[in-house]
Chains A and B, each alone.
Chain A
Amino acid sequence: MTETSMPARQTARIPAGRRAIAFLQKYGILIIIAILMAGLSFLSDSFLTPRNLLNILNQSAPLAIIASALTLVIIGGGFDLSAGAIFGVASVSAAWIAVNIDPNLGLVVGPLVGLVLGVVNGLIITGFNVHSFLATLASSMVFRGIAILITGGALIPVRMPEFAWLGRGKIGMVNVAVIVFLVFAFAMMFLLNRTTFGRRVFAVGGNEEAAILSGVRTNLVKIATFGLTGFAAGLAGVIAVSRISMGQPQAGVGMELDAIAAVILGGTSIYGGKGAVWRSIAGVLLLALIGNGFNILNVNPFFKDLTTGLIIVVAVALSAGRKRR
């Protein structure tokens, strides 16, 4: 044998290069957003204006609220397919109460209805030991049915200024909905990163058995994450119904999938135990930017879904590469 045969594989010896790749994978979502924003501001003068940017935030607020809370469910090793249906129930409950009792009470009750339905999800999952995917798939049908029962299948128009402030109001330049979203997102970040509850969420998703043996009441933790997501879906629902002044039982159809897409796009692991709220918000913004770009540039909207799908595939592939050694 020759001692001087070529090395079988000579990967880069420079740790700096590897670190750069790791950095790219970790913050890839932010880099994609930055590139997209740079590109759009280059292509259109109307993109990089406070008005347009606030508009994007305002339109994304309901989805971003759901995605923020859903991040906790997914980090905890769960999955929630009922967020869209809860959104619908909360919308019509809020509208019904606004019309029949009091508009502000409607805005308060919507998120609480969401909280109750989310807790019901959690109880089904932990009580019957059903996988959350199945449990929420089934419960989403039940919830959607409830939404239709509340309205009797009709729409509930709500023409009251006391009801519209949440969805349409502004404080100075900034929409009320954006402020609600920011407050909620910061609350979720705080909960996840700074509290003992957040630690337990990570532990339940990372290794449930170890968490149980460490004295974590994993069922309570799961119920709480589903309750929070239900609350978030309800909050998002009342923002939307207040904005359009119309309670529709079909509101929020497919929204749960957008929220899941945003969470995954951001880089939170679907296997649980790993992720961050800011990532999901970045995921929502990326989806919104793509939509906004198509509007501004007047491109055939047929390409929108195609582009979105491709970007999700690329982002997920990138984060999968992060796990490989």
Chain B
Amino acid sequence: MSEEAVRLAGIEKSFGSAKILNDISLTFMTGEVHALIGENGAGKSSLGKIVGGYYSFDAGTLTVFGKPVGQWTPRAALTSGIAMIHQELQLVPELTVAQNVFLGMEANRAGVLSGGEHERFRALDQRCGFGLDPGRIVADLRIAERQKVEILRAIARDARVIIMDEPTSSLTADEAERLHHVIRWLRDDGRTVIYVTHFLDHVLATADRVTIMRDGRIVRTGGIAGETKESLIEAMLGEPADVAFPPLPPPPPIETKPLLEVIGLSSDTGLSDISIDVRPGEIVGLIGLVGSGRSELARAIFGADPSRGTVRIAGADYANRTPRNSVAHGLAFVPEDRRKQGLDLVQAVRPNMSLPHLGLVSRLGVLRPGEERRRTAEMIRHFNIVPGQIDGEVAYYSGGNQQKVLLSKWVYGAPKVVILDEPSRGVDIGARRRIHDFVVELARGGAAVILISSELEEVISLSHRGYLMREGRIIECVDCRTLGVEDALFRLFNVQRGAEAGPRTEVRS
């Protein structure tokens, strides 16, 4: 019989004047996978962080295994058997897998390490069946493997409740499926998994119970049986919604001259002999698995990495490629990692948006704050960014709203060529829909758009044409209007299976 693991009663939480959790009462049982879903900003991540001890709460009670908690910190939570696995993994990259797993609980005699870490690790790893090499340096691992290290770390500390915040957002479909096996194993082992996610398919496939949140409140909690993708979305949005993609504008006529031409591009980041073209008003998808060179191609065109080969914009050679020159040539590049590469989280919304186009809001190097405010307010309205403060602290915004700020930063200057790398990663349904509309708006406005997404359905549904990529090369140019998701997957994998017969060539060790 399962029993209560964590119980919340009347939990409230505010940041400044913004109330983000309102009267939350909820019970997590042992031996269940409990999904927390909701739009970004609904409060699901914050709720997870309260249970994990990372946020304090303003009112209410938190009861862990029957005991009300007092001073609640990540350390106290861990001692009580609650571990949190973050969106941004918290490992020490320079240490080995085993050193990370036993960090802070190394076997020692009066502070002197007594070794035996690898044996301890093997015993642990065997129980979970991950098959990780204890001696490898964490920096060399892929994200999916790092997550396993985090999970092992939690189990090594005998965590009975494991909170996972968006664990699959940077995983491929295959890796996500493997993580789900692990989650089910954790449950069958009698542990509680609190699974915070945006991916409804994952919820339906893995969770036993689901709690749906909206605007800092619980909409409902219940068993997963009987829920469908549509019923979950309806509850999250509070209104019936469709999951469809917006219709594309008609593709430009075939005789239209390309706005962006790439000819024979190669780079040290692993690109070889890439040739693509994009016409104005056209959305072109780069379709490939993670590591196929999609992002590298985007960075090479924009000048973020050095490359050899020809790039032409509106027929004119663009040789000296640097981010600065790209901005001047009307290129925009929305990078995949909005927190590391996109936004300056120390600064407010206004300076973030104007940074690439300071020339537009200044005269002779002196800022025109009125003009800057006007443009910022316009973008906030255009994207419906919440909260809508011109000088809002973007660090505290939800993922979807941060992404909208990042997109605003680039449309500020009315770009001609827009490269979007994972524009909807880690954002909620509402923001995702707005971002999809935005991609279509760009094309309708005559921009040449390059779209990159790990989600095949998204990139295929939103593109006129696509280039299939593998190991830094273009395999094929396809018409996305007739390409099915399975079809694309088959082509991408089919080729890869063939290549796996020989040793895989790693471009960078």
Contacts and interface: CB of A to CB of B under 8 A. Distances in A.
Interface of A: 1, 3, 5-11, 13, 15, 18, 194-200, 202-203, 205-207, 209-217, 269, 272-274, 325
B470 interface: no
27 contacts: A5-B63, A7-B61, A8-B57, A11-B56, A13-B58, A13-B59, A15-B14, A15-B16, A194-B366, A196-B362, A196-B367, A203-B344, A203-B347, A203-B351, A207-B344, A210-B343, A210-B355, A211-B344, A211-B355, A212-B304, A213-B323, A214-B355, A215-B326, A215-B327, A216-B355, A217-B324, A325-B55
A220 to B, nearest CB: 10
A6 B63 CA distance: 11
B409 interface: yes
Nearest to A4: B61
Given A11-B58, A197-B365, A213 B346 contact: no
A213 B304 contact: yes
B392 interface: no
B453 to A, nearest CB: 19
B344 A210 contact: yes
B72 interface: yes
B340 interface: yes
A215 B72 contact: no
Nearest to B331: A215
A228 to B, nearest CB: 15
Nearest to B351: A199
Contacts of B354: 199
B75 to A, nearest CB: 15
Contacts of B328: 215
B190 interface: no
B9 interface: yes
A217 B355 CA distance: 12
B367 A195 contact: yes
A112 to B, nearest CB: 22
Contacts of A209: 340-341
B446 interface: no
A7 B60 contact: yes
B69 to A, nearest CB: 5
A203 B365 CA distance: 16
Contacts of A197: 365
A272 B323 CA distance: 22
Interface string B22-55: 0000000000000000000000000000000001
A294 to B, nearest CB: 37
A273 B327 contact: no
A207 B16 contact: no
Nearest to A196: B358
A210 B342 contact: yes
Interface of B: 7, 9, 14-17, 55-63, 66, 68-72, 302, 304, 322-328, 333, 335, 340-347, 351, 354-356, 358-359, 362, 365-367, 409
Nearest to B55: A325
A8 B72 contact: yes
Contact of A273 (B57, B322, B344, B409): B344
Given A5-B68, A215-B324, A215-B327, A207 B343 contact: yes
A206 B343 CA distance: 9
A4 to B, nearest CB: 9
A206 B335 CA distance: 17
Nearest to B354: A199
A3 B340 CA distance: 44
A94 B333 CA distance: 49
Among A15, A197, A206, chain B packs the most CB atoms within 10 A around the CB of A206
Contacts of A5: 61, 63, 68
Contacts of B60: 7-8
Given A8-B60, A200-B358, 4 more contacts: A9-B71, A207-B346, A209-B341, A213-B333
Among A207, A209, A217, chain B packs the most CB atoms within 10 A around the CB of A207
Contacts of B71: 9
Nearest to B60: A7
A10 B346 contact: no
Nearest to B409: A214
4 smallest beta-carbon distances between A and B, as pairs: A273-B346, A206-B344, A215-B327, A206-B346
B441 to A, nearest CB: 22
B61 A8 contact: yes
A194 B367 CA distance: 5
A205 B347 CA distance: 10
A223 B473 CA distance: 39
B15 A325 contact: yes
B90 to A, nearest CB: 17
A195 B361 CA distance: 10
A205 B324 CA distance: 18
Contacts of B356: 214-215
A199 B358 contact: yes
Nearest to A198: B367
A1 B60 CA distance: 14
